[in-house]
């Protein structure tokens, strides 16, 4: 789609804000400005669990926490199968940790008041020899833009949805329940998936829950909008979590919290029942502490019959070519040592490495088109999604007007992004929005395909969300796995970009890197 010079110039402010939306793609970010914390609009309610929490023996909680801290879901399942652990004890242990730490970390917006009932039911089914699958009895958090039937709410972090209760679970939630998973609660997020406020560069702020805190350091950013999912997993407040990706919004917080995060191929996980931002890009995906756990969670929420864990193999990179997007990675100061560590680990895993480059071949005003695409997605995807959920507003201007009636509660971190992009959105028709989606998807896929072909790579290596515009828009799978700490103490992850539909292969390659590197940092004090 072509734009005139005057149209491009008019969009300059929107472009600058769009580029700031995800924060620095990677590297040693400038320390964000101090952002005050705010009161939750809905305090976490522990009353349904109080008697059981008080009665839980300290030694049982310590044993459960040790298994949780040092193992994978496979280890937890073995503990439950042997009687060493129960889903009730695991769930109570996590609830106790949430009560202890989430007043500061703000990983959660709401707890599931039926979580303990679900855990006890999982234990009864296990005792009867009827476990439902690999996620049976495992406590999962859900980003709060994913619909859950009552009594929990689905707010997307916005005050206009504070009292919204979805009529039904999103399909991925129904699949988790059918597989025996325990829904622990709803995770905090950057409000409306990140289009409300920059909040001093921290990310992860919402009117409903306040600012999520990086457990590796209060002054470190949390990254994109799936912040609560990543914070909760990294700080042992959930076994795993389901986040969502639009462009780096799952990958970045996972990388910056030392977690594993995966954006699956487009359509692999049903996005029905997720509050939309850009339907073309949006994709739910797993956040976990290990590739094994990410594979198990993806298996539980996807739309295929693939068993991803069967293919996890420490030799999956032997003889494979990894295309290093070195020019872009090393252009960010502070990443040189971690790049070297990642390269050594890939070589140790048996991979061949070659330089690779994504040749940006944009049409005229491509940056402006991307800015328009975000803005028009807010108008044509997000606002209909909010209106359908009873937000009481149908337009971006109406949403802003509602926020301004009570700014201390409804927009405590400001609303500069939505304020800047709303006028842009008003000029874009639905037909133009849909055409942009098709063109940007085609262009992003062509650029990635060109990088694969020119380097002969089986998989491309990036850092954090540095190339998310390409893989998220193209619908290609990507996964981030930790590579250690930057000089400022912020975790960083390499991001492997796979070919469309190659999710099982990508998980196996990420597992091989993980086994060769063993570089996941643990947050102190949690």
Q: What pLDDT, in 10s, does the model give residues 487-523?
A: 999 999 999 999 999 999 999 999 999 999 998 899 9
Residue 252: exposed, middle, or buried by beta-carbon count in 10 A (0-12, 13-18, 19+)?
buried
- Is the pLDDT confidence value at 15 over 90? no
Top pLDDT among 23 and 362 is at 362
The H or E element spanning position 174 is helix 171-178
Residue 26 is among the residues annotated as catalytic for this protein: no
SS (H, E, C) 207-273: CCCEECCCCCCCCCCCCCCCHHHHHHHHCCCCCEEEEEECCCCCHHHHHHCCCEEEECCCCCECCCC
SS (H, E, C) 450-513: HHHHHHCCCEEEEECCCCHHHHHHHCCCEEEEEEEECCCCCEEEEEEECCCCCHHHHHHHHHHH
Q: What pLDDT, in 10s, does the model give residues 230-281?
A: 999 999 999 999 999 999 999 999 999 999 999 999 999 999 999 999 999 9
Residue 186 is among the residues annotated as catalytic for this protein: no
Residue ranges per structural domain of the chain:
47-311, 321-361+438-517
Question: Distance between CA 216 and CA 226 in Å, rounded?
Answer: 16
Catalytic pick among 141, 143, 190, 517: 143
CATH topology of domain 47-311: Amidase signature (AS) enzymes (3.90.1300)
Report, as an integer, the average pLDDT of 421-427: 93
Q: What pLDDT, in 10s, does the model give residues 73-104?
A: 999 999 999 999 999 999 999 999 999 999 99
Cα–Cα distances in angstroms (integers) from residue 16 to residues 193, 198, 371, 417, in the given order: 18, 12, 9, 10
Question: Distance between CA 97 and CA 93 in Å, rounded?
Answer: 6
Per the CB < 8 A criterion, the answer to whether 224 and 212 are in contact is no
DSSP 29: P
Residue 249 is among the residues annotated as catalytic for this protein: yes
Give 362's pLDDT tier (boundaries 50, 70, 90). low
Second CATH level (architecture) for the domain 321-361+438-517? 3-Layer(aba) Sandwich (3.40)
What pLDDT sits at residue 33? Answer: 58
Catalytic pick among 86, 229, 247, 249: 249
Catalytic pick among 141, 206, 225, 229: 225
- Name every residue whose Cβ is closer than 8 Å to that of residue 431 and which is 6 or more positions away in sequence: none
Give 360's pLDDT tier (boundaries 50, 70, 90). confident
Collapse the DSSP code of 285 into the 3-class scheme (helix H, G, I; strand E, B; otherwise coil) and give the result: strand
SS (H, E, C) 314-342: CCCCCCCEEEECHHHHHCCCCCHHHHHHH
Report, as an integer, the average pLDDT of 450-465: 97
- Is the pLDDT confidence value at 26 over 90? no
Q: Which of 27, 125, 78, 8 is nearest to 370 (CA)?
A: 8
Question: Distance between CA 188 and CA 108 in Å, rounded?
Answer: 5
């Amino acid at each position: 789609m072509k734009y005139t010079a005057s149209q491009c110039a008019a969009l300059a402010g929107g472009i600058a804000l769009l580029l700031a939306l995800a924060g620095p793609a990677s590297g040693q970010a400038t320390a964000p400005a101090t952002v005050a914390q705010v009161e939750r609009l809905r305090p976490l309610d522990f009353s349904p669990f109080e008697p059981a929490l008080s009665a839980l023996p300290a030694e049982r909680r310590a044993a459960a926490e040790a298994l949780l801290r040092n193992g994978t879901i496979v280890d937890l399942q073995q503990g439950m199968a042997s009687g060493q652990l129960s889903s009730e004890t695991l769930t109570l242990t996590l609830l106790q940790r949430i009560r202890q730490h989430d007043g500061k970390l703000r990983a959660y917006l709401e707890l599931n008041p039926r979580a303990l009932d679900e855990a006890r039911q999982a234990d009864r089914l296990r005792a009867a020899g009827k476990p439902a699958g690999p996620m049976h009895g495992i406590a999962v958090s859900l980003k709060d833009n994913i619909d859950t039937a009552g009594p929990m709410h689905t707010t997307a972090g916005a005050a206009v949805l504070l009292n919204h209760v979805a009529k039904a679970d999103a399909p991925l939630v129904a699949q988790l329940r059918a597989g025996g998973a325990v829904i622990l609660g709803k995770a905090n997020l950057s409000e409306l998936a990140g289009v409300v406020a920059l909040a001093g560069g921290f990310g992860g702020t919402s009117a409903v829950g306040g600012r999520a805190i990086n457990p590796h350091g209060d002054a470190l950013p949390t990254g994109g909008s799936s912040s609560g999912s990543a914070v909760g997993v990294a700080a042992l407040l959930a076994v795993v979590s389901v986040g969502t990706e639009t462009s780096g919004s799952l990958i970045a917080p996972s990388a910056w919290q030392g977690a594993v995060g995966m954006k699956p191929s487009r359509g692999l996980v049903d996005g029905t029942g997720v509050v939309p931002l850009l339907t073309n890009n949006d994709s739910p995906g797993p956040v976990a502490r290990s590739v094994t756990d990410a594979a198990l969670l993806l298996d539980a929420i996807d739309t295929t019959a693939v068993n991803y864990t069967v293919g996890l193999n420490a030799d999956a990179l032997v003889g494979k070519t990894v295309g290093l997007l070195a020019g872009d990675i090393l252009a960010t100061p502070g990443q040189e040592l971690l790049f070297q560590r990642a390269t050594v680990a890939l070589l140790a895993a048996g991979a061949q490495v070659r330089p690779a480059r994504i040749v940006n071949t944009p049409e005229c005003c491509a940056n402006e088109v991307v800015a328009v695409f975000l803005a028009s997605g807010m108008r044509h995807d997000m606002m209909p999604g909010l209106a359908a959920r009873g937000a009481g507003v149908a337009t971006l201007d109406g949403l802003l007007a509602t926020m301004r009636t009570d700014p201390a509660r409804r927009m405590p971190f400001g609303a500069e992004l939505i304020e800047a992009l709303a006028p842009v959105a008003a000029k874009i028709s639905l037909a133009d929005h849909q055409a942009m989606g098709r063109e940007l998807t085609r262009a992003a896929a062509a650029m990635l395909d060109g990088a694969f072909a020119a380097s002969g790579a089986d998989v491309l290596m990036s850092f954090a969300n540095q190339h998310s515009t390409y893989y998220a828009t193209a619908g290609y799978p990507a996964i981030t796995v930790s590579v250690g700490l930057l000089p400022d103490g912020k975790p960083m992850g390499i991001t492997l970009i796979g070919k469309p539909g190659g999710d099982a292969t990508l998980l196996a390659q990420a597992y091989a890197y993980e086994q060769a590197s063993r570089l996941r940092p643990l947050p102190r004090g949690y």
